Amino acid sequence: MKFFLDTASLEEIKHIHSIGILDGVTTNPSIIASNKKSFKEVISEICKITNGPVSAEVLTTEYDSMLKEAHTLSEIAENVVIKVPLIMDGIKLVSELTKRKIKTNVTLCFSSSQALLAAKVGATYISPFIGRIDDTGYNGLELIKDIKTIYTNYNFKTEILAASIRHPMHIKEVSLIGADVATLPYAVILNLVKHPLTDIGLEKFIEDSKKIIP
């Protein structure tokens, strides 16, 4: 499974990249808004840190304006992926960008029928928001399972990018289902390494190491 970091913090991206587990980065308008730099500047700086895919979202919802934005964003760096909302004009945009060999990430997916539409027009990634589905009282993991089955049935090449990840158990479950990518907040990535028995074992090792005769 590929790990994308869901952030616009250059320090967080540099840290995870230095560990060797960063495969890409996703951003969205809410994340970018928290940064004091311009949108293009942030995306450009992120692309200088990682060679992996960097999702940059269009900020309008009408086809012609989204198409202009998409081309402007795609010129920032070769690894920019155009993030598109799952609306009908968004599907039309993905269809056109696919013809132009521009990679896309279709976001705000909450149903398997939406995911089917995205795959039919050649989306590079589909982003089902499992945490937000969980918040409504439904099981977001069921959506990942359904999309995986549909994509396998028809040999779609669109990669399933599990989004709205809230905790390490989400990672375990989407990995078992077979999602291609998970995009994670910084804190969740840090929590993946944690386990109380690891802490206890490490404390014991450190204590015993003090008894070793050099």
- 45 is written with which tokens? 């700086």
* Catalytic residue (one of 2, 40, 68, 83): 83
| Contact between 151 and 171 (Cβ < 8 Å) | no
- 104 is written with which tokens? 């896309």
- Per-residue burial over 101-127, b if 16 or more Cβ lie within 10 Å, else e, is ebbbbbbbbbebebbbbbbebbbbbbb
Answer yes or no: 83 catalytic. yes
Rounded to whole angstroms, the Cα distance separating 48 from 52 reads 10
Closest CA to 25 of 56, 1, 64: 56
Question: Bridge partners of 161?
Answer: 181
- Cβ count near 188 (within 10 Å): 19
- 194 is written with which tokens? 């944690």
DSSP state of 21: -
Rounded to whole angstroms, the Cα distance separating 125 from 111 reads 15
Residue 198's φ and ψ, nearest 5 degrees, are -65, -45
By annotation, the residues acting in catalysis are: 83
